[in-house]
Structure 1
Amino acid sequence: MSFFNKVFASVGIGAATVDTKLEKDTLVPGEEVSGIVEIKGGNIEQQVDEIYLSIHTTYIKESNDKKYTETGVVDKFRLTDRFTVQPNEKKEIPFSFRLPSDTPLSIGRTRVWVATGLDIKNAIDPSDKDYLKVIPNPLMEAVFESISSLGFKLREAECEQAPYRLRRRLPFIQEFEFVPVSGAYRGRLDELEVVFFPTSSTEMDIVMQVDRRARGLGGFLAEALEMDETNVRLTVTSSDIPTMKQKIQSVIDRYS
């Protein structure tokens, strides 16, 4: 085995490569992700300690009054134990895993991708990156449609570092920011912020922040002190879909 081949492989030249092929790339949270990882050996025999798939997104983190973008891991899956890939050998490894129910949606600036990695000792680990389009499940879609029918328009959707009171499994949350553009809430509310916390494919908690528009001197004082915002938590299930609009409207009316 050539000394130079070993050296080149250690810096990624002529080394093993990896390519992940997804069965489909448009999914809802909680749906099964399946596909094949293709591995092609390089110029020399290499030992692979493991193959892993990980789901990533980015989120905004704040530190020392500065905001910056951080990459977050939604979940990680190990596919294989240690094995050896021979020169120019081709391997196909099928996989299947469930997309976590709290995976962010591909809306606004949010991007979600699957990263494939080969852990190879004393070498640069080959990797592959495949973007997913994560769309709302029927329950989330019912919430979005209900809010839209009440005269709100989605202004922004972004993943942000989760405040301590809202932190669960992940260090970030995806926040959907709506503004009233028509209907009864135009002129009454500044915005409506919504965060989903799915517990299953048919049930989720919703945290809504109702931001009231300042009215008069007292209103501006309340706004300056951030007293014009009310946070409310509610639980919805698939059985609520037919009456979702009324359920959300009653909550907004109570706190607007």
Structure 2
Amino acid sequence: MFKKMLASVGIGGASVDTLLEDNRLLPGQMFNATIVVKGGNVAQRISGLDLALMTKVKVSTDNGDYFKNHKLATWRLSDSFEIQAGEVRNIPFSGKLHPETPFTQLPVRNNQCQVWLQTGVDIDSAIDPSDTDVLVVMPTPVLEHVLNAMFSMGYVLYKADVEQGFLNTRAFRSTSGCYQEFEFKPRNLGLNTIREIEISVVCEAEQTHLLLELDRAFRGDGYLYFTLANNASASQVLEVFKANIR
């Protein structure tokens, strides 16, 4: 009886751990994992096992900004089952990252982008053990071309974050409830009339949409958007940026 009481408040109860084959992924990429559930000191009924793809988003309000966790996708791994004391149960799983999963491996010091997988077991009448696994989301080739194009045009990436909300243009719309934003400044201000460029990104399987906000010193803010094929070359991307950013 004493052991069951301890397990009911999360002491000596079941635990869960997600083991990824590779934590370096691209948006929209398939991944494989093994979810390991270990029984505690007594048998327990687990009413469900879930996996969630998470990121941290910035929320802007009249009283200032704050960050909160945001769910990009969820998977139901298992329905109700009982795990015995000391039992180890391995559950294989294959999933696919949301195509709008934010990039985290970026050449910027002020990088506020985080992505992780969170695993939880819903144990009846117990504190839910959980497991968090950080993902390294790599830039796609076309995003690398975008970053290189901006650098070659005299701009430096100084901040990256994930904003709450949807991007909505005549050509595309985001779907995940958040979007990634890259902030660039000219390396040498000089006579450059553009003080800052914010680029928001919406990724799809075959193409990448970009929304640019240009902060001009004398003409106010300007907006433009365009779409790049994911197989576009570096020279093609640079040509598009030179034609649009003036």
User: TM-score, structure 2 length as denominator?
Assistant: 0.90
| C-alpha contact (below 8 Å) 1:45/1:85 kept by paired residues | yes
What is the CA–CA distance in structure 1 between the aligned matches of 2:164 and 2:73, rounded to whole Å? 17
Is there any run of 5+ residues in structure 2 with no aligned partner, and where?
none
Partner of 1:248: 241
Equivalent of residue 39 in structure 2, options 41, 58, 61? 41
What is the CA–CA distance in structure 1 between the aligned matches of 2:119 and 2:208, rounded to whole Å? 30
Partner of 1:147: 150
Equivalent of residue 19 in structure 2, options 21, 27, 30? 21
Partner of 2:165: 162
64 and 17 in structure 1: CA distance in 2 versus 1, 3 angstrom threshold:
same
| C-alpha contact (below 8 Å) 1:180/1:186 kept by paired residues | no
User: Percentage identity across aligned positions?
Assistant: 32
Partner of 1:234: 226
Q: Do residues 210 (structure 1) and 197 (structure 2) align?
A: no
Deviations 1:143-186 (A, max 9, x none): 11111111110010011222674773222221100011159x86
| C-alpha contact (below 8 Å) 2:25/2:135 kept by paired residues | yes
Q: Do residues 178 (structure 1) and 184 (structure 2) align?
A: yes
More helix by share: 1
Q: Do residues 125 (structure 1) and 128 (structure 2) align?
A: yes
3-state SS of 1:247 partner = helix
1:187 Cα deviation from its structure 2 partner: 2.1
3-state SS of 1:79 partner = strand
| C-alpha contact (below 8 Å) 2:166/2:174 kept by paired residues | no
3-state SS of 2:174 partner = coil
Task: Point out the structure with max Rg over C-alpha.
Answer: 1
Equivalent of residue 136 in structure 1, options 121, 139, 156? 139
The two structures, once aligned, show a CA RMSD in angstroms of 1.8
Deviations 1:23-55 (A, max 9, x none): 111111111121111111011111112211111
Partner of 1:223: none
3-state SS of 1:250 partner = helix
1:65 Cα deviation from its structure 2 partner: 2.3
